Structure 1
């Protein structure tokens, strides 16, 4: 089994060292900018330990695919999409009854179907019934999605029923998280030295943060409920794992940025792309060495700008991007997003899981193949045609990078 490589990076502000542990093999490609960002995080005041995972890639305020332990709060490491995560559901819809074209037609209306008592569900969580209720049950942009999946390999276990269809939902706190984060930045600035625990700004952030994490979990559930209603199915939850959050521990504050926060024995999805397999894993005892974090997906290999020179130059290429090897389809009427989220933009999720397994962080449980991936849909055919011929200003930038 692997042993994480450890480097000690001194921090002048604390007179202590920050141990950086990298939970990936030497053969795993990590972009140089992501390594630079990781080193910058490790050198921040009060930083005690950093864990880097094989999906590590550059982000806006720091690298994505890491966990960081500090003696203070660094809200910018989490960013605006507080509580973003992955939720996996089983449907009581048999695979044998699926017609992909019909299911795609049904799921195209995902964000049009009426929600099931959003005000009541918010109030049940102790939140105002109108608290960003209009954003509930919506995907967002960027790398967010709702995907209808089938079990490819159940691994001989009983965690997943290979005869039934599943839903994997990736979304977060939408306009709520953006609003809370924006308010914090407007009053506290860039917070280069973080927020000391116990201070008024830190206490206020943690209250907002915890509410946003719950709101994001409800959002994923309501997305799944919308999809299940369109498919005329019931659902049960298998895993709900956030990867953009902080947790207060007896050692300090653990910041999870694009790193799934798990406990030993917990099931967690590791997403592939819309044209590759996703994985279900079970966290092992080794997560005690990784600050309780693992990868949540394959991680980007090429940034969004770079993808426009690599894929989708012609209409036929873009049409090919909407399919996959299993006859699956992507619902994505945003031409730019279709290119930016192509399978080639991502690393190999199988290799990511293999790295995690080699460090005793996870046991592979099952793999799932993508059948219908919902990203974005315009209201009607005329709008969809216009969307193919112009560059649209989209809200996808609200999704975290």
Structure 2
């Protein structure tokens, strides 16, 4: 499914995306001309414009980390598990489960009233010889209060069922405000350092830090902390979700997967050690399991990686947007949205309270705002093997 796209300068661009679009291509071409880029740029089938680097993009850099090529929600990712409960719960039972989830797991900007204990916070503090520049007086307190919370935007909790009518649970969330604070600080530091060294960048949004310099080492340390935080955040929510499911369905659990799709990691590709940045992209090393969610009204997939070197052993992280949030609010029809969510237990779409779209329904997360997940999956048959197809029964959005 790979296609080699024309690129007048820089390394090649290899795309699994049917129609990347002009802005996505501009960002991909900027990546291809980056002074530290390695081998080629890979675009996954869910690719769409991001900030600096496309979401659904994969790029490897020589001895460099690019904060905006990881993104602001460091460690955003997925967690899923299967139950041993067979048979679709009825609507009343699903509504009961959703109500209990909403009562126990804060969503949106909400967080726990008290700090949640996590050894990882103490371990991180012990590593610090000095206070990082991003860290305010209450940064770690807010982080501790945010553990086990969903956040907003496209983050979700779903109850699903596979082809054998076995019930599954799935969570999409990240590092909350912690990752955003870290990312924005280090991008500013990278830009300052690149300007000082008069480094010519194809876009200032792609400012980088050398991994051997102090700030580069600090970013890797703090990114790793945010990754651990995000993984723990999903683990805690899944722990709560398991308790609710066990109490409601009397079930046991198996096959839990917890993965990131916004991160950078040092890996070996084509015989070289490089820093692979996956921004809205899932690792698909040979034999490892991954999770590719659809939109809130469409199927999700549990997959196994094929280890395709041309994608830097990566695949899509979801359906990918076909419309921006504001565009979706303007263009999507309420009746069509209702039909796309038929049979799925969910909350009402809220109305926008302020700004130029005030009074309109917020359809930024409606199914019509996303690409068709089955088309996305078909485009990456050389990247992953599908293990399980999951149909949504009920959803909680952030």
**TM-score range relative to shorter protein:** 0.7 to 0.9
SS state at 1:366 partner: strand
Compared CA separation, residues 282 and 199, structure 1 to 2 (3 A): same
Q: Distance in 2 between matches of 1:200 and 1:31?
A: 38
Q: How does 1:202-221 map to 2 (within 5 A)?
A: 202-221=216-235
Q: CA deviation at 1:87?
A: 1.3
Q: CA deviation at 1:106?
A: 2.3
String of CA shifts for 1:218-270, please: whole Å, max 9, x gaps: 11111222222333265445322211000112431111010112321111111
Deviates further, 191-200 or 364-373: 191-200
- Residue 137 (structure 1) aligned with residue 148 (structure 2): yes
Q: Distance in 1 between matches of 2:178 and 2:103?
A: 23
In the alignment, which of 7, 16, 19 is matched to residue 23 of structure 1? 16
Instruction: Give the equivalent residue in structure 2 for 1:243.
Output: 261
Deviates further, 111-120 or 81-90: 111-120
Q: Which structure 2 segments of 5+ residues have no match?
A: 127-139, 195-203, 353-360
Instruction: Give the equivalent residue in structure 1 for 2:201.
Output: none
Q: CA deviation at 1:139?
A: 1.4
Q: Distance in 1 between matches of 2:254 and 2:141?
A: 26
Q: How does 1:285-296 map to 2 (within 5 A)?
A: 285=307, 287-296=308-317
Q: Are the aligned partners of 1:90 and 1:166 in contact in 2 as well (CA < 8 Å)?
A: yes
Q: Distance in 2 between matches of 1:60 and 1:78?
A: 10
- Residue 73 (structure 1) aligned with residue 65 (structure 2): yes
Q: Distance in 2 between matches of 1:300 and 1:6?
A: 21
Compared CA separation, residues 44 and 222, structure 1 to 2 (3 A): same
Q: Distance in 1 between matches of 2:35 and 2:74?
A: 23
Q: CA deviation at 1:205?
A: 0.3
Q: How many residues align?
A: 349
- Residue 222 (structure 1) aligned with residue 222 (structure 2): no
Instruction: Give the equivalent residue in structure 1 for 2:42.
Output: 51
Instruction: Give the equivalent residue in structure 1 for 2:320.
Output: 299
Q: What is the aligned-residue RMSD (CA, Å)?
A: 2.8
Q: CA deviation at 1:203?
A: 0.4
Compared CA separation, residues 63 and 134, structure 1 to 2 (3 A): same
Q: Distance in 2 between matches of 1:34 and 1:141?
A: 24
- Residue 331 (structure 1) aligned with residue 347 (structure 2): yes
Q: How does 1:273-352 map to 2 (within 5 A)?
A: 273-285=295-307, 287-311=308-332, 320=338, 324-325=341-342, 327-331=343-347, 334-336=350-352, 338-352=362-376
SS state at 2:363 partner: helix
Q: Are the aligned partners of 2:306 and 2:313 in contact in 1 as well (CA < 8 Å)?
A: no
String of CA shifts for 1:266-317, please: whole Å, max 9, x gaps: 11111111111111221113x222112100111000111111112256xx67
Deviates further, 184-193 or 70-79: 184-193
Compared CA separation, residues 116 and 266, structure 1 to 2 (3 A): farther
Q: Distance in 2 between matches of 1:79 and 1:209?
A: 10
Compared CA separation, residues 280 and 345, structure 1 to 2 (3 A): same
Q: Distance in 2 between matches of 1:86 and 1:332?
A: 24
Relative to the length of structure 2, the TM-score reads 0.79
Relative to the length of structure 1, the TM-score reads 0.79
Q: How does 1:1-400 map to 2 (within 5 A)?
A: 2-5=1-4, 7=6, 10-11=9-10, 18-24=11-17, 28-48=18-38, 49-71=40-62, 72-98=64-90, 99-112=93-106, 118-120=116-118, 122=120, 132-151=143-162, 153=163, 162-189=164-191, 192=204, 193-231=207-245, 232=247, 235-250=253-268, 251=272, 252-285=274-307, 287-311=308-332, 320=338, 324-325=341-342, 327-331=343-347, 334-336=350-352, 338-357=362-381, 360-376=382-398
SS state at 1:217 partner: helix
String of CA shifts for 1:159-193, please: whole Å, max 9, x gaps: xxx34311111111111112212332444437545
String of CA shifts for 1:343-382, please: whole Å, max 9, x gaps: 000101111111100xx21112221111111113xxxxxx
Q: Distance in 1 between matches of 2:280 and 2:322?
A: 15
SS state at 1:90 partner: strand
SS state at 1:109 partner: helix
SS state at 1:329 partner: coil
Q: Which structure 1 segments of 5+ residues have no match?
A: 12-17, 154-161, 377-401
Q: Distance in 1 between matches of 2:35 and 2:290?
A: 32
Q: Distance in 1 between matches of 2:177 and 2:191?
A: 20
